[in-house]
Chains A and B, each alone.
Chain A
Amino acid sequence: MRREIPLAITFLIGIFMLVDFFVPHHVVSSSAEEMKQWGTIVIAASILLGVGNLIRVHFHKIRRRREGWGYSITTLAIMGVMFFFGGPWGTIEEGSAFNWMFLNMQVPLQSTMFSLLAFFIASAAYRAFRLRSAEASLLLIAAIIVMLGRVPLGQLLTRSWPEAIQLPNMTEVIMAYPNMAAFRGILMGAALGVMAMGLRIILGIERSYLGGEK
């Protein structure tokens, strides 16, 4: 029954939400709205589970002195500090310790981590972007056009050229035709996949979300 009950709930709720999409009757839509509120509550509760799991994983790592356990101490300590200041003194009030730490520590730290990408991309581009084949050459030429066409320098350099071959215009053509065609294909494939997966879950064929079974 540990599997049959969740499967039955999934089937009934899934079918009901499908019915809600096609039947605009108020009895169906009001019930569906209620269920969506439940969904929000369940997902919010899962955040608490996530916090609990984070503590458990890092606690075990520290206890067993696994590689990088020092970072786990830092993670738990910082989480404790944020909890400590966020609880009694609030999280959003201007000037509160939590808000101050968020704006003056987390924001610059996360921005810094992300900005490091520029350095690695430059280094990787120098080493990896090579004219190894016709396809790679095409990709490289497109990349150079887009990289220069997406910045004002590209506009400045080609402003006196015929309009069709100015870098910003060539960039827009690349983005609006070959790029869009490729992404549209990917989108359609993904949409079909999502529909198939949704049906598999509703019908109980796909059960991996229940855990413990292949």
Chain B
Amino acid sequence: MAGKPFDIRNIDRRIIFTLIFVAVVWPLLQPMSLPIDVSPPVQTLYDAIEAIPEGSIVMLGADYSPDTMPELQPMVDTFIRHAFERDLRIVVACLWPASPPLVETAIGPLAEEYGKEYGIDYVNLGYMAGGIVTLLGMGASIPNTYPSDYGGTPVGEIPLMQEVENFDDIAFVMEVSAGTPGTREWVQQVQGRYRVALGSGTTAVGAPNFYPYVQSGQLSGLLGGLKGAAEYETLVGHPGDATKGMDAQSVVHALVVAFILLGNVVYLLSLRSKGRAPAEA
């Protein structure tokens, strides 16, 4: 009995899924070490951090959750590494409840690697509910807004926090965010009002939203997705998870483009066989 003729338009999606799986796994097992060039928004962010005087206090705003961790965690890792290498002191403040333990997984080992001490060289203030209200509160007083750190120690007992009252004492804020509250709120409520230097790292899908802020100078620079993180790793000189992921992302993007082209060839051929132009379809 003759079956239905194979029609590529109705290809089983499991075949596509399998190809994507192979496209992700194969480059991870067999790295191709593709070259990574640095784009202007990443370069300006790096330059802004390089220009901060040694010993200054910088803030890491970590506002993401485990779902976007593969994209954003490399940015957090690299920023912390960059700050420690330049002897900058870090205050971590989170507006998302899942962020503090994710930052802890990065900052603890790096502090050990660079011989940094908790409470003197860095502090994790943890999560505070409130979003925009919390940001505005920090503009008036950071110790009042975050009365204790992530471990419950009152900020009055933390040496580093004796030098921090509000954004006047923060040389630079690096905001790594996956949504709301995040980069937009930091730009609108903090940069716009308190004129603090602000850089941002976001998911690739969110990055296009923030180009107006880069162009206006409200953002000192922007890391967009895994590629932005890989570029930053390249500049800092410590290739990490983002750099490793670039090969897989390259192959997957090429495969998706191939799917799109194939889909359109089939679509145009089917129209031609019906004697119609695309606009009439």
User: In the assembly, what is the distance between CA of A127 and CA of B247, in Å?
Assistant: 25
A111 with B70: in contact, given A40-B130, A132-B278, A176-B211 (CB under 8 Å)?
A: yes
**Residues A106-152 near B (CB distance < 8 A):** 106-111, 113-115, 118-119, 121-123, 125-127, 129-134, 140, 143-144, 147-148, 150-152
Question: Is there an interface contact between B17 and A119, defined as CB atoms closer than 8 Å?
Answer: yes
Among A115, A123, A153, A187, which residue has its beta carbon within 8 angstroms of that of B13? A123
Task: Kindly identify, within residues 165 to 211 of chain B, every residue whose CB is under 8 Å from any CB belonging to chain A.
Answer: 204, 207-209, 211
State whether A103 touches B259 (Cβ < 8 A).
no
Scan residues 140-189 of chain A and give those whose CB is less than 8 A from a CB of chain B: 140, 143-144, 147-148, 150-156, 159, 168, 172, 175-176, 179-180, 183-184, 187
Least Cβ–Cβ distance between B280 and chain A, in angstroms: 10
Interface Cβ pair total, 8 Å cutoff: 175
The interface bits of chain B over 66-82 (1 if a CB of A lies within 8 angstroms of the residue's CB, else 0) are 11111000000000000
Chain A interface, number of residues (Cβ within 8 angstroms) = 60
A91 to B, closest residue via Cβ: B101
Judged by a CB distance under 8 angstroms, whether B3 is at the interface is no
Binds A, one of B44-52, B84-92, B138-146, B156-164: B138-146
| Mask: chain A, 33-55; 1 = CB below 8 Å from B; 0 = not | 10011011001101100000000
Is B260's CB under 8 angstroms from A43's CB?
no
Contacts A37-B144, A118-B24 hold; do A180 and B69 have CB atoms under 8 A apart?
A: no
Inter-chain CA distance A107–B68, complex, in Å, is 10
Complex contact B101–A102 (CB within 8 A) = yes
A150 & B227 in contact (Cβ 8 Å cutoff)? yes
Q: How far is the CB of A48 from chain B (nearest CB, A)?
A: 10
Most buried by A among B35, B100, B253, B261: B253
Task: Say whether, besides A140-B260, A184-B212, A151 and B131 are in contact (CB < 8 Å).
Answer: no
Which residue of B is nearest A145, CB measured?
B257
Nearest Cβ in chain A — how far from B274, in angstroms?
A: 14
Please report the C-alpha to C-alpha distance between residue A37 and residue B136 in the assembled complex, in whole angstroms.
10
Given A122-B255, A133-B278, A148-B257: A110 in contact with B16 (beta carbons within 8 A): no
- Say yes or no: is A92 at the interface (Cβ < 8 Å to chain B): yes
Give A108 to B136 CA distance when docked, in angstroms. 34
Main secondary structure of the interface of A (DSSP, over half): helix
Task: Decide: A131 near B264, CB < 8 A? Known: A119-B17, A147-B253, A148-B254.
Answer: yes
Q: Are A156 and B254 in contact (CB under 8 A)?
A: no
- CA A140 to CA B252, docked complex, whole Å: 17
Contact at A36–B136, with CB atoms within 8 Å? yes
Structural contact, A152 and B246, CB atoms closer than 8 A: yes
Judged by a CB distance under 8 angstroms, whether B110 is at the interface is no
Which B residue sits closest to A17, measured CB to CB? B136
- Given the known interface contacts A47-B129, A123-B13, A150-B204, the answer about A118 and B140 at a Cβ–Cβ threshold of 8 Å is no
Contact B215 A180 (CB under 8 A): yes
Which of A32, A99, A176 has most chain B Cβ within 10 Å? A176
Asked if B253 contacts A150 (CB within 8 A), the reply is yes
Instruction: Check if A29 is an interface residue, CB within 8 A of chain B.
Output: yes
Q: Which residues of A contact B136 (CB under 8 A)?
A: 36
List 6 A-B pairs, minimum CB-CB distance, nearest first: A152-B34, A153-B250, A114-B67, A110-B66, A126-B259, A39-B133
List 17 A–B pairs whose Cβ atoms lie within 8 Å, in order of A's numbering: A39-B137, A40-B128, A40-B134, A43-B131, A103-B101, A106-B66, A111-B69, A115-B70, A122-B20, A122-B252, A125-B260, A126-B263, A133-B278, A144-B257, A144-B260, A179-B208, A183-B208
Which residues on B are within 8 Å of A, measured CB to CB?
Answer: 11, 13, 16-17, 19-21, 24, 34-37, 39-40, 65-70, 98, 100-102, 104-105, 128-131, 133-134, 136-137, 140-141, 144-145, 150-151, 204, 207-209, 211-212, 215, 224-225, 227, 230, 246-247, 249-257, 259-264, 267-268, 278-279, 281
Chain A positions near chain B (C-beta within 8 angstroms):
29, 32-33, 36-37, 39-40, 43-44, 46-47, 92, 99, 102-103, 106-111, 113-115, 118-119, 121-123, 125-127, 129-134, 140, 143-144, 147-148, 150-156, 159, 168, 172, 175-176, 179-180, 183-184, 187
Known contacts A126-B260, A129-B260, A150-B204; 20 additional CB pairs below 8 A are: A44-B130, A46-B129, A102-B98, A106-B98, A110-B65, A115-B70, A118-B252, A123-B17, A125-B263, A130-B263, A150-B253, A151-B253, A151-B254, A152-B246, A152-B247, A152-B250, A154-B250, A175-B207, A183-B211, A187-B212
